[in-house]
């Protein structure tokens, strides 16, 4: 097991350095089609979680600049209001709305979903962008490990509860979930709250992000007939407030080599704009192209029964119902 973990870490480090940094983005962008990003989406309703800073802010800004009505889901009201005002001023789009919700709380998510359903607003794009890497074990007031609560349970609950509003815009509806290259170092595990062994924030984050990719595949198969597309993506290694706070040594080590938030958000926005005929539901995307979900010889592939078990646990923990 030690050698396997060492190989995963080494393969991830080499692959990441060559592809996930700013230089990787510059190289890959040489093959981008500029027309892909000139598409306007006036009249479309988009939800972006974690929209007040970093990649979430850049995503909300990018969608607003293309005419979308954007619902910015933020935990902090004051920071959310400041971000909304900045985007309105920069884009001239006044169709931005702040929705205050703590993605670590099931009760908060259910309250948000209830309020939003009352608006009866059809949703064209749900961007599950909010994420967290907490290095120490923190337990929420509802009894869940904090990373898991935000990255997995929150993402799952938000998606499941928004399905009725997404169905209203089929066949164009889509869900975009922001994963991480860190998932390459982790196989699926049913130890969702890191109950076994010494807790590691980065390892738990990687586990969470692997689950998000598997959930995207699961959703694509389960809800494909509902006319909703499901896509996971990786933004690359970007210099964001979250990275600086959670991984200070990583941020310092790669100073000047990390992507901007806008570069990290590029594929999120691209996925929101493209005709669904160009995309593969259940796919994992990086720099505007479908990417592998596993690195060679890393033994991270798991059977379908694992994600089925995880979904059963999430439904039991969250008592989610549509």
Q: Which domains does the chain have, with CATH numbers?
A: 2-318 (3.40.50.720)
The per-residue pLDDT for range 192-244, each reduced to its tens digit, is: 999 999 999 999 999 999 999 999 999 999 998 999 999 999 999 998 888 87
Q: What is the pTM of this model?
A: 0.95
Over residues 41-55, the mean pLDDT reads 97
Q: Report the range of poorest mean pLDDT among 48-57, 168-177, 183-192, 294-303.
A: 294-303
For residue 68, give both structure tokens.
Answer: 């979308």
For residue 280, the SS3 value is coil
Over residues 88-101, the mean pLDDT reads 98
Q: Which residues are catalytic?
A: 205
For residue 139, the SS3 value is strand
pLDDT of residue 15: 83
pLDDT of residue 93: 98
Closest CA to 83 of 104, 121, 55: 55
For residue 8, give both structure tokens.
Answer: 């995963």
pLDDT of residue 248: 84
For residue 275, give both structure tokens.
Answer: 């005709």
pLDDT of residue 63: 98
φ, ψ at 114 (rounded to 5°): -65, -45
Q: Provide CB contacts within 8 A for 40, sequence distance 6+.
A: 66, 67
The per-residue pLDDT for range 104-127, each reduced to its tens digit, is: 999 999 999 999 999 999 999 999
Q: Is the predicted pLDDT of residue 321 greater than 70, yes or no?
A: no
Q: β-strands 174-178, 96-100: how paired? A: unpaired
Q: What is the mean pLDDT of the chain?
A: 94
Over residues 67-81, the mean pLDDT reads 98
The residue ranking higher by pLDDT, 304 or 174, is 174
pLDDT of residue 12: 78
């Amino acid at each position: 097991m030690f050698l396997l973990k060492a190989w995963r870490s080494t393969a991830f480090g080499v692959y990441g350095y060559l592809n996930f940094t700013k230089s990787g983005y510059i190289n890959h962008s040489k093959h981008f089609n500029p027309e892909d990003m000139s598409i306007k989406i006036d009249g479309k309703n988009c939800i972006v979680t974690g929209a007040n800073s970093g990649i979430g802010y850049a995503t909300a800004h990018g969608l607003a600049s293309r005419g979308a009505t954007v619902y910015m889901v933020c935990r902090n009201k004051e920071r959310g209001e400041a971000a909304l005002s900045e985007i309105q001023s920069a884009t001239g789009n006044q169709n931005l709305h702040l929705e205050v919700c703590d993605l670590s709380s099931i009760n908060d998510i259910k309250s948000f979903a209830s309020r939003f359903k009352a608006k009866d607003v059809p949703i064209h794009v749900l961007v599950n962008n909010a994420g967290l890497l907490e290095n120490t074990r923190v337990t929420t007031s509802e009894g869940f490990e904090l990373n898991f609560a935000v990255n997995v349970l929150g993402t799952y609950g938000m998606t499941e509860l928004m399905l009725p509003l997404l169905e209203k815009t089929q066949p164009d509806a889509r869900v975009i979930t922001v994963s991480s290259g860190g998932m390459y170092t982790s196989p699926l595990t049913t130890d969702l709250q890191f109950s076994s062994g010494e807790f590691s924030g980065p390892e738990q984050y990687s586990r969470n992000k692997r689950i998000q990719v598997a959930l995207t595949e699961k959703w694509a198969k389960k809800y494909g007939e509902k006319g909703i597309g499901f896509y996971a993506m990786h933004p690359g290694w970007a210099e964001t407030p979250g990275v600086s706070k959670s991984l200070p040594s990583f941020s310092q080590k790669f100073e000047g080599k990390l992507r901007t938030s806008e570069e990290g958000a590029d594929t999120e926005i691209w996925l929101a704009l493209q005709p669904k005929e160009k995309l593969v539901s259940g796919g994992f995307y990086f720099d505007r192209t479908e990417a592998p979900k596993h690195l060679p010889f890393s033994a991270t592939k798991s059977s379908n029964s694992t994600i089925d078990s995880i979904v059963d646990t999430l439904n039991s923990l969250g008592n989610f119902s549509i």
